[in-house]
Structure 1
Amino acid sequence: MKSPKNLIKQAFENTPTVFQALSRVRTRRVGEGYNVAHGEEDQLPVTGKVTVEKGPLAFKSQKEPVPLSDVENALLCWAACGPNGMALLDLDPNNDLATIMSCAGRTIPGPCNDRGAHLFYCTDEGTFFYKPSPDSPKPVEIEDDDDYEKILDWFKKGSVKLSDKRIDLDWGSPEKWGPAAKGGLTGIWQHNFNRPGSTVFFPVVDLTKELVNVMLSGFEHMHWMFVDDETGEPMGLSEWAMPGYLEVPVPWSMYEEIIFSLAHNVAGMMVQNARLAAEAMGLGHWNFGGIAEDIILGAIPELAKGLGFSYQQLNGRNFFHGLPGIWEGWGWPSPWHKSTDEIVEKNVQTRYSAEGLFYGKGCPEGCIDNLPFNQETLEAVRRHPKIKISDWAIDAAKSCLKYIVDKYGRFPVYSSPFHAQFVCQFHHIDPAFYEKYYVPGFIHDQIINHYRDWH
């Protein structure tokens, strides 16, 4: 039997190249133990009994589902958003190096490296939050045989168990929806979702960290002046509305839309990275959206507990605060911030040590005393006047947030701080379905030889 280290070594050294994986990556939705349109009553692990109409692709798997191993799950999680070394920070201080919010690199990028997107996953073992340590003591964390086991270590130590059970997304239970229910709220996704043996990924993003961060950058380096969509007037920013300071009018709704798009791009990159990893290992995967994120995050507990985020209703919409003690958001109202001024101050301080050094020792988002710069460059960077965010930009951000909260009672204005709009499920493929209905060519050697290679 291959050791975990040798299996991870195999993933790095003996799987198809990224270009080969891209050439044949496919959504293969039918795994071991899955059923398709067989016209019979089926017992699902979370949703209870459902009946699916019979169709031309009727199939009932004859295989018992085999859960993905720790190594398989560790590689998928790491591919999605795991640590991979020190960020380069290759912006000159004159070009807003101070906007970078972490010096720890991951397999995905992020706007200003804000680490505002994280991964939740569930297996037969329960529901988990994956967040390995941001410490990055090397330029590249995975270089050779000695480093491979870090991936499994990050998975085991960096996964916080939220529940001993699979995520409660009980959308089709007859007890809740009545005997006439046909699939509940998930529609076509319902039948094989969250099956035994599967691993389900839920990327979640927090917009508010970057909303504040880019506000600071926008003021000082791009001269943005946020204006009220209703009045066209500056949003608490009249004091700085002058040449050389805030000159470019930006409607607030447009700004939130920009940050919303940036955050969701990162979630999409998580899914794509994990899909390519699954393809290289010969695992099945299917990704989808369109499920109400209120249910995933936990705002309709009478139907489904979901991930159990703290929330409240504001202006007819659910406003998610985060998971207390695990992932706390930067929006307002807030259970963990005393004021919007504190939100701005904490956002600024993420990149400075207690002594005020840019990523100095003790900084919550890592230290650059030894990497990535040589010592001469590091000293010059830390001496540079623009490595500190300007006091006036900080004051303007505080004033703008006060205006927003005084008028709208919430920050962000047009959406919740947290979002979960992508889902990706992984499983061992049942080739019998594809052999029955499809022409040859869709099941490749990595799939055929998966158990030989990985178990």
Structure 2
Amino acid sequence: MATTPKDYARALQSLARFPLLDALYGRRSRRFGRGMEIPDGPLAYRSKEEPKALSEIERALLIAAGAGLSGWNLGIPHTPSGTADTGCNYTVRPIGRTFPSGAAAQGSELLITDDSGSYITRFRDLDPDAIREYQGADDLERLLAIVRDNTVKLSEARVELPREFPHVSAHNRWVANRPGTSLFIPVGDQVESLFNQLWIRSGEGVLVVDPRDKRVLGKPDRLIRAGVLYEDRKVPLPVIEGASRTSVAAELSIAAYNIHLLEQAIGLGGWLFSGLNVNALLGASAEQGIPGFGFRFARNPAWLQPNPVGLDGLFEPLVPPYVRDMQEAAERFATRKFGPNGNHEPWRPGPFRDNAGVKARIERYDTAFVDYLGSLAQDIWDTYGKFPATQPSVGIAVYTQAQHIDLEFYDTFYAEGAYLPTHAEHSEVWD
């Protein structure tokens, strides 16, 4: 696989000058790639070209679009919730990325699989020095080096799923994850997102209730007496978990869309889709000889399907076995915000002219609040056997495939304009 185009400068200039509006309005789902075949129907066609994998630089560019850092996030400037004249403490991480994340949780990563193997990125917990380095990456080569340094190879093999029910939807079997293609799958931390939702709602005085028996979850009495929580502000747990899931799904979908937009600029085919069995993709069917990406799963006869828990050593949400219990999870989540290396520590660098002054005025929650959050999370865990109760601990929304398109297929069946000049010139510019 070639690392760089023969005319590197021309390729980078072509990419840098590609207009955003052309990407937005020229975006199409161009599914038919080199080496593919549609066996029957009005568009039946067998490619005369051999499958052609993405080059290392093409793959790295798409990773940067779908998972990369872009400096510091700017935080949430104000909330009337909490103590007067203090700063908003909702943000979880300091990083800014190429896509938005609810309350800057920024807990997602990117899974990648293609002919060269399978990978996961590790951007979400980079330290401030790494963020500064990324922010100073004013040339593409340095940027791509940082992408390579923070992409971990999981396997030498492509993740494969049987092309049959229930693993791959019928309309995707001829095209999805074929030789020569690269599959990019944003993956989100639903545990952390829910912790932040509970943190925010509790800061507004909300009590969380189990809708099945109307029971208030956790141990809120101390905070009710202190006037922090209010008995007339009750919200069902699934409502909060649904908001968390919507936030994470939006984050992951925008990350996938960024990759799709960059495909237009590079001149690659591809599209956003679902239709793959997400649990099998992550590794739920390993015992049936389908290893997926190797994620750990928890099982319970009461559940409709197994729950993805995490990827050992690489993507570990704050649930057992990665924590002792949910009280420890709450404490570690609070430390992520306010601990010695936390996001809101005054000594940490950030986006403000006066970082120390701004961060020193961010509201800190006391031990009683963190203890309550732990009791709430533990009650959810004890009641439902998982956290979140109604959502998977690891979330996937849509994903993006990239491949070199077969121009002859589009010339044969489609009117002029079915692909962009970047597709027509791709081999000349990027090979």
What TM-score, normalized by structure 2, do the two folds share? 0.89
Instruction: Summarize the Cα distance change of 1:392–1:91 in structure 2 as closer, same or farther, 3 Å threshold.
Output: farther
- Could you report, residue by residue, the CA deviation over 1:402-437 in whole angstroms, capped at 9, with x for unpaired residues? 322332232211122012232211011101111111
Residues 85, 136 of structure 1: 8 Å contact kept: no
**Could you tell me which of 127, 146, 165 is aligned with 1:154?**
146
The CA distance in 2 between the partners of 1:425 and 1:439, in whole Å, is: 24
Trace 1:168-187 onto structure 2 (pairs within 5 A).
168-172=160-164, 185-187=168-170
Aligned partner of 1:288 in structure 2 is 273
Aligned partner of 1:72 in structure 2 is 58
**Could you tell me which of 312, 315, 318 is aligned with 1:327?**
315
Q: Percent same amino acid among aligned pairs?
A: 26
Aligned partner of 2:117 in structure 1 is 126
Residues 203, 423 of structure 1: 8 Å contact kept: yes
Residues 142, 148 of structure 1: 8 Å contact kept: no
**Could you tell me which of 12, 16, 29 is aligned with 1:9?**
12
Residues 103, 359 of structure 1: 8 Å contact kept: no
The CA distance in 1 between the partners of 2:393 and 2:346, in whole Å, is: 29
Aligned partner of 2:99 in structure 1 is 108
Aligned partner of 1:43 in structure 2 is none
Aligned to 1:265, the other structure's residue is in SS state helix
Aligned partner of 2:401 in structure 1 is 425
Residues 105, 136 of structure 1: 8 Å contact kept: no
Residues 287, 424 of structure 1: 8 Å contact kept: yes
Instruction: Summarize the Cα distance change of 1:90–1:216 in structure 2 as closer, same or farther, 3 Å threshold.
Output: closer
**Could you tell me which of 24, 27, 42 is aligned with 2:29?**
27
* Deviation for aligned residue 1:355: 7.5
Q: Which amino acid aligns with 1:258?
A: A
Q: Which amino acid aligns with 1:406?
A: D
Aligned partner of 1:254 in structure 2 is 239
Residues 67, 255 of structure 2: 8 Å contact kept: yes
Does residue 91 (structure 1) correspond to residue 74 (structure 2)? The answer is: no
Trace 1:116-265 onto structure 2 (pairs within 5 A).
116-132=107-123, 134-135=126-127, 141=134, 146-172=138-164, 185-220=168-203, 222-239=204-221, 240-241=223-224, 244-247=227-230, 248-265=233-250
The CA distance in 2 between the partners of 1:131 and 1:285, in whole Å, is: 24
Structure 1 runs of 4+ with >6 Å offset: none
Aligned to 2:111, the other structure's residue is in SS state strand
Aligned to 1:404, the other structure's residue is in SS state helix
Does residue 389 (structure 1) correspond to residue 375 (structure 2)? The answer is: no
* Deviation for aligned residue 1:237: 4.0
**Number of residues paired by the alignment?**
415
The CA distance in 2 between the partners of 1:89 and 1:21, in whole Å, is: 29
Aligned to 2:169, the other structure's residue is in SS state helix
Residues 346, 356 of structure 2: 8 Å contact kept: no
Instruction: Summarize the Cα distance change of 1:359–1:11 in structure 2 as closer, same or farther, 3 Å threshold.
Output: farther
Aligned to 2:292, the other structure's residue is in SS state coil
RMSD: 2.5
Aligned to 1:343, the other structure's residue is in SS state helix
Q: Mark the runs of 5 or more structure 1 residues left unpaired by the alignment.
A: 38-53, 173-181, 362-366
What TM-score, normalized by structure 1, do the two folds share? 0.84
Residues 197, 240 of structure 2: 8 Å contact kept: no
The CA distance in 2 between the partners of 1:205 and 1:139, in whole Å, is: 24
Aligned to 2:96, the other structure's residue is in SS state strand
Instruction: Summarize the Cα distance change of 1:72–1:228 in structure 2 as closer, same or farther, 3 Å threshold.
Output: same
The CA distance in 2 between the partners of 1:35 and 1:410, in whole Å, is: 43
The CA distance in 2 between the partners of 1:252 and 1:150, in whole Å, is: 45
- Could you report, residue by residue, the CA deviation over 1:29-50 in whole angstroms, capped at 9, with x for unpaired residues? 001111112xxxxxxxxxxxxx
Indicate the larger mover: 311-320 or 203-212: 311-320
The CA distance in 1 between the partners of 2:417 and 2:216, in whole Å, is: 60
Instruction: Summarize the Cα distance change of 1:394–1:8 in structure 2 as closer, same or farther, 3 Å threshold.
Output: farther
The CA distance in 1 between the partners of 2:102 and 2:343, in whole Å, is: 22
Trace 1:295-334 onto structure 2 (pairs within 5 A).
295-301=280-286, 302=288, 304-314=290-300, 315-316=302-303, 317-331=305-319, 334=320
* Deviation for aligned residue 1:183: 9.3
Instruction: Summarize the Cα distance change of 1:349–1:192 in structure 2 as closer, same or farther, 3 Å threshold.
Output: same
Residues 296, 420 of structure 1: 8 Å contact kept: no
Residues 139, 372 of structure 1: 8 Å contact kept: no
